[in-house]
Chain A
Amino acid sequence: MRRTLLLATGLLAAAPALAANIDLEVEIPRLSVAEYHRPYVAAWIERPDNSVAANLAVWYDGKMRNNEGTKWLKDLRQWWRRAGRELEVPIDGVTSATRAPGKHSLSFAEGSAPLGKLPAGEYRLIVEAAREVGGRELLTVPFQWPPQKAEQLKAQGQHELGAITVQLKP
């Protein structure tokens, strides 16, 4: 198994055109509430020991005066402790504005920022959402890297997140 993985990695290194890919779809549910603010959302990849392998996306309000929007980054509690507090926002290619309810597609290619190179192994893709005057939700999608075949993995949110779909392409 290990040998196969090593071989696979070797092949990938030799042929970057065949780089694996992660397509992530994040659904932000439409909520019927009196005061609605778009949620702060973070998506990242963790190793089994909770260390962060890649920060994929952080949606927050970066346009406020005096960087006031960073005040609520701590509400993405797990992201904040695992990654956020070690970083300076904005991060090119990672941070962007908050998004409206609906489905948002993101694509990450191996070898390119922000995914970069993931050594073969077990990982978790985590999506966390926190909404001002609302709640917080965290979804975890475990996966193996690199993918042996095209794979679709899903997680379903109940409160602040809708469906999370992870497409792995070898």
Chain B
Amino acid sequence: MKRTLKLAAALAFCLQLPAAHAHNFWLLPSSTVLSKASYITVDAAVANDIFHFNHVPLRVDNLVVSAPDGSTVPTENLQQGKLRTVFDLNLTQTGTYRLAVVNDGVMAMWKEGDQPKRFRGNAEGFAKEVPANATELRVTESVSRLETFVTVGKPTAIQPTGKGLELVPVTHPNDLFAGESATFRFQVDGKPAAGIEVVLVRGGSRYRNQLEEIKLTTDAEGKFSVKWPQAGMYWLDADVTDDKTTVKQAKERRLSYVATFEVLPE
């Protein structure tokens, strides 16, 4: 069962589609707070154990690294290994960089006679490849955002995109300290996402017996606060479904948000 899920996750990600129950993928930057313009290196992988490379590399075809001035930073030395993807970034400007992998797509299952058929791709592909009169057609749309933030010098504001499920910082994500509280707001298509469950897991789970997940729920304004119990790299995951589909045959839209935050000791 577990294996099936993992496989599904891997497959889904390779096809640029998030699966419903396996969002254990992440970006892991070598630094998140810098006092001098410099290179960082970033690992990207899919595995059930947070920040441990033990499954498959993450495809980063849809990675966009935005500099503080809004320009795009190219990846350097991008390599896909057996267990992880690695790339370098030359951060030359002062301010906050956003590293985001945004995947959206359509997944369809139907029958042609007795034959089960499947489709994964984008809305255009769906229109072309899935017959309009397909029987037992089940269509799901998905939008996933995977991101992390890195700041050189003084942090700058992070602008929401207004698309899909996303985290809007109230506390800057590169200003997180153990023992302090941080507040973030979730929104879906630019509107507050109330009542969403947010899960936080600190890295290094291999060296403890319990996962020590922190589970929180967003309030009416889509906000939640977390008091960081200790320093470390944290993985954040939130998922929600709604019916705001763009493909009319799709009944459900799955939205997911995953991010990595570094919490420093006081």
Contacts and interface: CB of A to CB of B under 8 A. Distances in A.
Given A85-B153, A85-B155, A77 B264 contact: yes
A70 B36 CA distance: 6
Given A81-B175, A86-B154, A67 B36 contact: yes
B264 A84 contact: no
Nearest to B34: A74
A135 to B, nearest CB: 11
Interface residues of B, number: 13
Interface string B36-48: 1010000000000
Contacts of B177: 77, 81
B115 interface: no
Nearest to B176: A81
Contact of B36 (A71, A78, A86, A138): A71
B158 to A, nearest CB: 16
Nearest to B172: A81
Contact of B33 (A67, A74, A86, A138): A74
A37 B36 CA distance: 20
B114 interface: no
Q: By DSSP majority rule, is chain A's interface helix, strand, loop, or mixed?
A: helix
Contacts of A77: 33, 177, 264-265
B212 interface: no
A71 B264 contact: no
Interface string A78-106: 10110011100000000000000000000
B133 interface: no
Interface in B124-173: 153-155
A61 B36 CA distance: 13
**Majority DSSP secondary structure for residues of B touching A:** loop
B33 A80 contact: yes
B25 to A, nearest CB: 28
Contacts of A84: 35
A139 interface: no
Interface string A139-151: 0000000000000
A85 B35 contact: yes
Contacts of B61: none
Which one of B153, B264, B265, B266 has the highest number of Cβ atoms from chain A below 10 Å of its Cβ?
Answer: B153
B175 A72 contact: no
A71 B38 contact: yes
A68 B155 CA distance: 21
Name, among A73, A77, A81, A138, the residue most crowded by chain B CB atoms within 10 Å (CB to CB): A81
Contacts of A80: 33, 35
Given A85-B154, A85-B155, A86-B154, A78 B35 contact: no
Contacts of B34: 71, 74
A67 B264 CA distance: 25
Interface in A101-140: 138
A78 B266 CA distance: 7
Nearest to A138: B266
Contacts of A71: 34-36, 38
Q: Which of A70, A71, A74, A84 has the most CB of B within 10 A?
A: A74
Query: Which one of A68, A72, A85 has the greatest number of beta carbons of chain B within 10 Å?
Result: A85
A169 B177 CA distance: 35
A68 B177 CA distance: 26
Contacts of B33: 74, 77, 80
A77 B35 CA distance: 10
A73 B266 contact: no
Interface of B: 33-36, 38, 153-155, 175, 177, 264-266
Interface of A: 67-68, 70-74, 77-78, 80-81, 84-86, 138
Given A71-B36, A73-B35, A74-B34, 14 more contacts: A67-B36, A70-B35, A71-B34, A71-B38, A73-B36, A74-B35, A77-B33, A77-B265, A78-B266, A80-B35, A81-B177, A85-B35, A85-B153, A138-B266
